[in-house]
Structure 1
Amino acid sequence: MPESPCNLLTDVEGLTVGHATDMKLGSGVTAIVFDEPAIASGTVLGGAPGGRDTALLDPGMTVETVDAFVFSGGSAFGLDAAGGVQSGLRSIGRGFPVGSVKVPIVPQAILMDLLNGGDKDWGLHAPYRDLGYAAFKARAKGTFALGSVGAGTGATTATVKGGLGSVSAITSAGHTIAALVVVNAMGSATIGNDPHFWAAPFEVHGEFGGLGFPEHLSDQQRKMQIKGSAVTATTIGAVVTDAILSKAQAHRLSIAAQDGLARAVVPAHLPFDGDTIFAAATGKRPLQQPADFMELCHLAAIVVARATARGVYEAKALPYPGAQPSWRDRFRPVDQR
């Protein structure tokens, strides 16, 4: 598999990524902003999703392109974040034309982090619209932070701190495909009580520790691990390619990407997860043959699996009493944390 320059979503030509992180709040927002409207779709396989403008991503709906994707903590309160990104897009003249008006199209998915620490006593209005605008203003090409940042700030899993991860890959035909995943899973990205990741077979160049997969799985390692009574779940993310795709093809890409989530989090798609994956195409490189798209679907699952493990690997525990320890807290020597 050829290497991509940064091993991040921004390796895909035609987009920027921005974070807004509020450590006092213990939450944040991440925005993916497309340079031009991008063909987009998505799928929801979790039983308790939260989203905004996700219905329009159905391949049968009229609007085919989006201006941005937004991911946020805050549960339903976090849905205000898309309004902040819309404000930023409107200020630069972006949006779907409706007569003399332009309406920025900004689908959003949220995760539940209200019980993971931080000061949630924000008064009358939740801060997420302002955080959304801040994420829009912070957008940039090139490298961006991973782990406990942006929408991944308050993320957790069944075993260790969750976070935001991203990776990329290049197909044999030269198309770039990448994923950004915010891991706040009801299940676990790690195997049993060990440091190994379920996504280990797909790891590239030690991007999440290079530990590989256990030679054998014990009954204890196969046992289900899920969060307790505090239902603070939902893994959300996006897979994006520079290929030219139809909306139906983008929908199929999001379905394939959900397979990657199921390979990286065990169990996934539970009744209290909201597992939502968006897919988009920036339309820079045409497909030459049917096998090109099938390889994109194949890699969509792999980059989502890798990004999921990387988000957990890069996460840091929040600075609150009783905060969930990170993977590094549990499994790395002190001098390597």
Structure 2
Amino acid sequence: MSDSLEPISITDVEGFSFGHWTNREAATGCTVIVAPHGAAAGVDVRGGAPASRETDLLRPENTVEQVHAVCLSGGSAFGLEAASGVARELESRGIGLDVGPTRVPIVCSSCLFDLAFGDAFVRPDVEAGAAATRLALDGNATGLAEGTVGAGTGATIGKLLGMDRAMKGGLGARAFSLGALKVGAISAVNACGNVVDPITLEPVAGARVSADGTQIVDLEEGMLDAGAGLTMPLDRTNTTISCIVTNARLTKAQATKVAQMAADAYAHVIRPTHTTNDGDTIYVLASGGDDAPACPLDLLGLVATRALEAALVAGCREAEGICGLPAARDL
């Protein structure tokens, strides 16, 4: 195994296909990660009010062993409807758990809150999920678009001081190889806090000093200065949702552990993170079979953390400003 990480496209991770559905006018969308041949899966849910589907199936004591897709979506709880479209499209292609008369695709889903940003009454629906799935399976993409696309279309960050001083978040997708091991991460960054570069610790995007300003406030120091007078607006309207993909072979319990380890990326990049206003979820999908590259679990967790850090930063750096909010590239 090589001793250094090499950047690769997330589409180079075997066993997975990816697709977006985007509505920029309404500032919402969804992103689908399909495992046509199934993948072992785990999840780490740290949010206080997550909007999710089929996460209980990923508990190690439950009997379903393979997941066929993860749908990351805007629309808050309404966006869970998109996962039904993913399931219908997969069933039409014979992808899913064989139950006799048909195949039942196992589709996990998590949603972020974007209703207060664009059009609150346009959400990813059944057809949106099906369209993203068709693109994933038929698009023959050599890369995956990042920024203001898919689940990141309505993502915003730095909202602790109010939406008028926030900035545009987005969707990032980054991956690395370590010898034969491949690990990628997709993240829709819709955090209450700021996003910083984990290497330089410089701010990438976040709460601005004023609504027309370009300087980013240090939110953690601001919270300390506020002390007992601190208020937390925009309750339950923030969620960063992510999916790790790897060609390693994992059990459900191991995949869950990798998801827990990868959550460190949130703490490294988002300041503050895991607040009472954030509903954070990370999935892990592992496509590897008997010939999968061998890798110590702790090493895999480290690579997953690095990939997710890069995806979180990319989601903000690649975003374009819409609906009156600037993005990092605009400043």
| TM-score, L = length of structure 1 | 0.82
Which residue of 2 is the match for residue 80 of structure 1? 81
Q: Who is 1:14 aligned against?
A: 15
Aligned length: 298
- The Cα of 1:201 is off from its aligned counterpart by 5.2
2:152 maps to 1:152: yes
Query: Alpha carbons of 1:255 and 1:201: their partners in 2 closer, same or farther (altered >3 Å)?
Result: farther
Per mean C-alpha deviation after superposition, the further-off stretch among 175-184 and 56-65 is 56-65
Alignment of 1:206-245 (within 5 A): 220=218, 222-224=220-222, 229-231=233-235, 232-245=237-250
Q: Secondary structure at the match of 2:167?
A: coil
Partner of 1:138: 135
228, 242, 252: which one aligns with 2:257: 252
Letter in 1 for 2:180: G
Aligned mates of 1:149, 1:264 — CA distance in 2: 21
Partner of 1:182 in structure 2?
188
Query: Distance between the aligned counterparts of 1:201 and 1:247, measured in 2?
Result: 35
Instruction: Give deviations 1:153-181, integer Å, cap 9, x for gaps.
Output: 0000014210000111122x420011001
**Cα distance between partner residues in 2 of 1:127 and 1:242:** 29
Q: Structure 2 length normalisation: TM-score?
A: 0.84
**C-alpha contact 1:115 1:230 (8 A) present in aligned 2:** no
| Alignment correspondent of 2:327 | 326
How far off is 1:102 after superposition? Answer: 1.2
The AA in structure 1 aligned to 2:269 is A
- List alignment gaps of at least 5 residues for structure 1: 191-196, 210-218, 331-337
- Residue aligning to 2:213: none
In structure 2, do the counterparts of structure 1 residues 88 and 317 end up closer, same or farther at CA, with 3 Å as the change threshold? Answer: same
Structure 2 Cα separation of the partners of residues 149 and 188 of structure 1: 20
User: Offset at 1:258?
Assistant: 0.7
SS at match of 2:304: helix
Q: Distance in 1 between matches of 2:200 and 2:42?
A: 28
Deviation at 1:224? 4.8
Aligned residues with identical type, % of pairs = 39
Q: Structure 2 matches for 1:43-58, cutoff 5 A?
A: 43-58=44-59
In 2: Cα distance, 1:69 partner to 1:227 partner: 34
Q: What secondary structure, in the 3-state scheme, does the structure 1 residue paired with 2:77 have?
A: helix
CA contact (8 A) 1:157 1:227 kept: no
Residue by residue, what CA displacement relative to the aligned partner does 1:264-285 show, whole Å, maximum 9, x if unpaired?
Answer: 1111111121100000101154
Give yes or no for contact 1:186–1:227 (8 Å, CA) kept in 2.
no
C-alpha separation in 1, matches of 2:265 and 2:110: 18
Match of 1:70 in 2: 71
Residue of structure 2 equivalent to 1:213: none
